[in-house]
Amino acid sequence: MKLRTKIAALVLAAGLAAAGLTACASDAATVSKNLSTEAEQFRIERTIVFYNGITNTYIATVKGRCSVDQAENLESGTLAVTCKIGDDQYIKDFLGPSDNVTWFSLQEKPVDVSVYHYEVLFKPEAVIPDLRVETGQQ
């Protein structure tokens, strides 16, 4: 019984420590996270530019309500750009790695996000599974 109590106390202490650390986030960190959340919901206009450093030329420019994702392709170095172009219409483009090409993403306009409010979004289809009920005669 004592072992369970110790484990429960450790779990509770770890949870409180994690909650305490999130409360210590700087204003800049909170705003940065909120801007990232807004961008992932396609609410921020961006210009993403691909630039060749050797020839000093722009290779491609993507403008719109776009999400930039390098994390899902981190091993290959590929950059994925997903843009919302209309109601329920999206385009996804990829840029492969190169030693002479760099990219940068610019936010077109300022966006009003709170320094105090932290938002977590759950999509209903991600939380509630798609259940099918089939009935038949036996």
- Convert the pLDDT of each residue in 55-95 to its tens digit: 988 888 999 999 988 766 666 778 889 999 999 999 998 88
d(CA 90, CA 45): 14
**Does any domain span residue 105?**
yes
User: Does the residue 46 lie in any domain?
Assistant: yes
What is the spatial distance between Cα 33 and Cα 115, in angstroms, rounded to a whole number? Answer: 10
Query: For the chain, which ranges sit under pLDDT 50?
Result: none
- Whether 14 maps to a domain, the answer reads no
Domain membership of residue 83 (yes or no) is: yes
Name the pTM for this structure: 0.61
Residue 100 lies in a domain: yes
Burial class (CB in 10 A: 0-12, 13-18, 19+), 48: buried
Contact 64, 46 (CB under 8 A): yes
Backbone dihedral region for residue 88 (phi beyond 0: left; psi -120 to 50: alpha; all else: beta): left
| Residue 102 within a domain | yes
Per the CB < 8 A criterion, the answer to whether 83 and 64 are in contact is yes
Choose among 58, 49, 25, 29: nearest CA to 108: 49
Residue 13 domain-assigned (yes or no): no
* Assigned token pair, 112: 């009003």
Number of continuous H segments (helices) and E segments (strands) in the chain: 3, 5
Tell me whether residue 45 is in a domain: yes
**Domain count for the chain:** 1
Residue 120: predicted pLDDT: 63
For residue 63, the enclosing domain spans 41-109
